[in-house]
A = this chain, B = another copy of it.
Amino acid sequence: MSNKFSTRMSRIKKSFIREILKVTIDPEIISFAGGLPNPDSFPIEGIKKACAEVLETDAKNALQYSTTEGYLPLREYIAERYVNIKGLKATADEILITNGSQQGLDLTGKIFLNRNDYVIIEKPGYLGAIQALSIYEPRFRPVELYEDGIDIPMLKKTLRKYPVKLYYSVPNFQNPSGISYSEEKRKEVAAILNDNPVVFVEDDPYGELRFTGADKSSVKKYKENNIILLGTFSKIVAPAFRLGWIYAEKDIMEKLIVAKQAADLHTNYFSQRVVFQHLKDNPLDEHILNICKLYKIQCDAMITAMQKHFPENIHYTIPEGGMFLWVTLPKGKSALELFEIAIKEKVAFVPGDPFYVDEENVNTLRLNYSCENETTIEEGIRRLAKAISSL
């Protein structure tokens, strides 16, 4: 690479998943590699009416520049949901509207990270966060994820050993693993962090997509300060609007607003107006229930098919919500090798590699179930099982 580019760009690889998705364009391939919400769940009629309504009643404002913070009624709506659903004390001035929660990650990196700052990330961890934060050249310290959440002794050890700046976490139905933190672990994490200046980033794109089991508290419930929550309408309304948000306390919010303004002035205002209008006219909770019903059927179909077709020595997580589950092959087996075989069997997934910052050629892989119907899922898992057998 020529030295005309900044050093930060030399650390970033082209997206692994992008490359994989190119292979899966073949229509004969059943793909569990994506991470898209099911378009059958998009509230098309509501959006159609909302567009018409906004343009009929207030077009000149709805098409104009707006404030960096975002549309106030939408921010109030988000704050109220935190109050009503999570029992948090959120107010609208603690909410910043972002271009999807991916931008929340970029702004978080921007305002907190100097080069070589330490960041705790779950292992495996969310690829989008690894990419976004890598731009700011931190040193990642991965901490193992168990089926009930983070490895607490390892977390403590890491915090003792390094002056950690950020701890990035997806406590609900994590991408890639489908794992959720137990209520107990949330409390423990908060207690540990309350003695430490680390900022906790609670990324929660899937939290509302619970189709089984009891709701869990936000870590924010147990930790008042040095915590940022990221949320998004991508999985509960539609992704194309790129509407996410950051919920943060005052001193952090001030920096976020300055960084957001420098980054793009403000988020698409027309879409903020349309989505708010839609949410005002159509109860979101009902809509979410329907998405959860759909995803439960798909997740159950995948698990049933795995129970039927997979060899005994293949381990997989059983998520209580969200869009992903996580498969572990026997030790020493390579998910990348499996991928090559699977493509020949016309089934695709994401090998675990991009979700690790410190390992390669791992024996884990991610399956997405939100975009295929039961029959296709059964057939895809049958093919995958066949690929596993010939590995």
Contact = CB atoms under 8 A, between A and B. Distances in A.
A274 to B, nearest CB: 8
A131 interface: yes
B12 A262 contact: yes
A346 interface: no
Contact of A4 (B47, B112, B234): B112
A167 interface: no
Contacts of A99: 99, 264, 267-268
A164 to B, nearest CB: 11
B268 A268 contact: yes
Nearest to A59: B44
Contact of A264 (B4, B40, B103): B103
A60 B371 CA distance: 12
Contacts of A255: 5, 9
Interface residues of A, number: 76
A148 B111 CA distance: 39
A134 B114 CA distance: 15
A368 B48 CA distance: 36
A325 B253 CA distance: 34
Interface string A250-276: 010001001101111111111101000
Contacts of A234: 65
A162 to B, nearest CB: 15
Nearest to A226: B4
Question: Which of A14, A36, A65 has the most chain B CB atoms closer than 10 A to its own CB?
Answer: A65
A269 B199 CA distance: 32
Interface in A102-142: 102-103, 106, 110-114, 117, 128, 131-132, 134-136
B6 A113 contact: yes
Interface in A41-67: 42, 44, 47-48, 51-52, 55-56, 59-66
A63 B36 contact: no
B258 A270 contact: no
Specify how many copies of this chain sit in the oligomer.
Answer: 2
Contact of A240 (B106, B259, B263, B268): B268
A241 interface: yes
Contacts of A44: 55, 59-60, 63
Contacts of A98: 264
A9 B271 contact: no
A134 B6 contact: no
A74 B277 CA distance: 27
Interface string A193-236: 00001010000000000000000000000000010000000100
A366 interface: no
Nearest to A266: B242
Contacts of A14: 258
7 contacts: A4-B226, A6-B117, A9-B110, A48-B59, A103-B263, A106-B263, A131-B262
Interface of A: 2, 4-9, 12, 14-15, 18, 36-37, 39-40, 42, 44, 47-48, 51-52, 55-56, 59-66, 68, 98-100, 102-103, 106, 110-114, 117, 128, 131-132, 134-136, 165, 197, 199, 226, 234, 238-242, 251, 255, 258-259, 261-271, 273
Given A4-B112, A12-B259, A128-B265, 17 more contacts: A6-B117, A9-B259, A12-B258, A37-B64, A39-B60, A40-B60, A42-B59, A48-B55, A48-B59, A62-B240, A99-B268, A103-B263, A106-B262, A132-B263, A134-B262, A263-B263, A268-B271
